[in-house]
A and B are shown apart, each in its own frame.
Chain A
Amino acid sequence: MDARVELLLGALASTILLLIAGMVIFVLLKGMPSFTNNGISWFGFGGNVDQQLMDIFNSPANPADYNYELHAGPLLYATALITGAAIVISTAFAVLSAIFIVEFAPHNIRRVLEPVVRLLAAVPSVIYGLIGILVVVPWVADNLISEDRKESVAYVIQLDGTSILVGILILCIMISPIMIAIIVDALRSVPVTWTQGAAALGVNRWRSMWTVSLRAARPAIVAAAVLASARALGEAIMLSMVAGSVGFAPNPLDGFTFFLEPARPLASTIVDNAEGLSVVPFGQTMYAFAAILLVSSAFLSFGGWAARRSLSKYTLGAR
């Protein structure tokens, strides 16, 4: 009986692994024509990516004349920018919130905060998108975007409120709760004798949190960041609504206007253009985007695992 259960569970686990591997291989194979026709310039900048997508979509019906030219630099840049900024800000915010919840919060506030944080982690992302587009975007358009600012970039891009600022802000709000929940659990699972030892040496609460508990919980913080980044990478509909639906690469040299310029990460590009899949080269380009997303997630997971391994070398045997 035990042997049969072992086989069954092993079969289930392998099925899932096979499904995932099959999915990655399928997407890579389907998207390969887009990569082979462009070579390394697929990842570069050059020309207007929206116009290139339109030209691919309007390819003639003859397979020999399919148009594949694409320089997806602006989309990759937008993805890295929005995801990276959201992760950095959320990690800082989540760590400080978690320390507050574990150590400093009065008992009544902690009793309310913890369930609320877990509840927020489960809210569907479309709701954040709706609130963003109905409340935050008009507020940004009315208060932060002055007429001078709009005119200064008028011939390059239009500033209408949908921007990377709103995108990063709402993405942070979206991924922070799950990070807070994971880090709180990690901080709680630090052996209590360690913090008692710090208290015995006369260290105050903040210092003992910072030097003892947080240091021990570093692998968990990395794990939380990787989990949140996977969610941020895949966030399509919300970012398509609030971060602007233009394949534009925001220019840091514009100063503060940089934050008010729209951008469109890879997942949002796929969702905005999903209608055109029946045109063969267009569908293959979308598959190429999906392949990049899958490979990035895989690399992120691998990087997280490697970081956690190297970090756990420096904690005592508790890990």
Chain B
Amino acid sequence: MNKTKFSLAWLLATVMALVAIPAGAQAATITLSGSTSVAPLATLWAQKYVKTKQGKGTKFKILQGGSDVGISDISRGRVTIGMSSRDPKPSDPGGITFNRVAKDAICLVTNPANGVSGFDQALVQNIFSGKIRSWSQVPGAKEQGTIDLFVRTPASGTQDAFDKIFMSPEKIFSGASQKASNGLVQQSVQRDKAGIGYVSEAFTDGLTIGSYKGVPCSLRNAKSGQYGGVRSFYFVTLGTATGSAKKFIDWTRNNKAALKIAASEWVPFK
């Protein structure tokens, strides 16, 4: 191939690529990223939304990584909606709006072989801050050995909620094992008889759910406001929600089918 033909070929290839990119973006794509607690709910909603008339043809991409990843991504415009399971903080980037779409209960969980089910705030603080290190000092525990704590990494929204609702002003024991997601905490407590941790209510299979201040951790108690450990799920948008994001968020808040999905394992918006 001589020189002119070669350069012409390059020019053609570049032009084709430039034309192809906007053409591929015709169908609406909604990307969500953020909290591992909100992701299962968002997935169920997305699966229902594409079957509705207004959501037909929408493509969903759901990524995880934790509430702070979601907030950082939306503030830079990298995704359509950011998922957050924690309240806004003063250090969050500016210009973002937190739209509440559901509420969730944080449950204290122990291994079924141990089966502790009654907690009050003092006991939770003493256990998680390391003042009590042995199950023999905890009333109702079948285990007698050392307590194994499973907590979340600092950037987790569940961790933030746990700190605010249960722990403050106490700090978590420095030797506690930090896990990166709800699923890993669930798996760790399932496999360790002396384990205790906190998870979102959707991740309590195979574990004994503890009651807090006399109220068992369940969705009904969370909805009625009796259970103390409730936190909000937010869909975060850049500025107020517009376009496909606004349609989706309004659908999740008002549509009956969407509220029914949320009520299966979380506390719905209405």
Given A275-B65, A275-B156, A151 and B146 contact (CB-CB distance below 8 Å): yes
Residue from B147, B153, B154 within 8 A of A158 (CB atoms): B147
Q: Verify if B125 is at the interface (C-beta below 8 Å from A).
A: no
Q: A51 within 8 Å of B by Cβ?
A: yes
Q: Which residue, of B69, B148, B175, B180, has the highest number of chain A Cβ atoms within 10 A?
A: B175
Minimum CB distance partner of A264 in chain B: B178
Q: Is B91 an interface residue (CB 8 A)?
A: yes
Of residues 23 through 62 on chain B, the ones whose CB sits less than 8 Å from some CB of chain A are none
Task: Tell me whether B177 and A273 are in contact (CB under 8 A).
Answer: no
Query: Interface-forming stretch among A13-21, A213-221, A240-248, A304-312?
Result: A240-248
CB nearest to B174 among chain A residues:
A48
Chain A positions within 8 Å of B191 at CB level: 138
B269 → chain A closest CB, angstroms: 26
Quick check: B75 and A278 within 8 Å, CB to CB?
yes
In the complex, A87→B90 CA distance in Å?
45
Please report the C-alpha to C-alpha distance between residue A154 and residue B147 in the assembled complex, in whole angstroms. 8
A197 to B75, CA, bound (A): 72
For A245, give its contact among B72, B156, B177 (CB under 8 Å): B177
* Alpha-carbon distance A151/B133, docked complex (angstroms): 8
- Given the interface contacts A158-B176, A158-B177, A160-B192, does A275 sit within 8 Å of B134 by beta carbon? no
B77 interface hit (Cβ, 8 Å): no
B174 touches A58 (CB 8 A): no
| Chain B, 114-151, CB within 8 A of any chain A CB | 130, 133-134, 145-149
Instruction: List chain B residues, Cβ under 8 A from A60.
Output: 90-91
Contact yes or no, A156 B175, CB < 8 A: yes
B195 at the interface (CB under 8 A from A): yes
A297 at the interface (CB under 8 A from B): no
The B-contacting residues of A in range 159-199, CB under 8 angstroms, are 159-162
- A272 CB within 8 Å of chain B: yes
Q: Once the chains bind, are A272 and B145 in contact (CB under 8 Å)?
A: no
Q: Is B65 in contact with A248, judged by CB distance below 8 angstroms?
A: no
The reply to whether A151 and B178 form a contact with Cβ atoms under 8 Å apart is: no
User: A278 and B154: CB pair below 8 A?
Assistant: no
**Contact among A141, A159, A273 with B153 in the assembled complex (CB-CB below 8 Å):** A273
Closest to A137 in B: B191
A204 shortest CB reach to chain B, Å: 51
Establish whether residues A158 and B146, one from each chain, have CB atoms under 8 Å apart when the complex forms. Answer: yes
Closest-CB distance, A277 to chain B (whole angstroms): 6
B201 on interface, CB distance cutoff 8 Å: no
B91 in contact with A50 (CB, 8 Å): no
One digit per residue, 1 when the CB lies within 8 angstroms of any chain A CB and 0 when it does not, for chain B 77-112 equals 000000000000011110000000000000000000
Q: How far is the CA of A27 from the CA of B178 in the complex (A)?
A: 26
User: Is A155 close to B, CB under 8 A?
Assistant: yes
A155-B130 in contact (CB<8A): yes
Known: A61-B91, A158-B176. 20 other contacts (CB 8 A): A53-B154, A54-B154, A58-B154, A61-B90, A138-B191, A141-B192, A150-B146, A156-B175, A157-B175, A159-B146, A162-B177, A245-B177, A245-B179, A248-B174, A272-B178, A275-B68, A275-B69, A276-B66, A277-B69, A278-B71
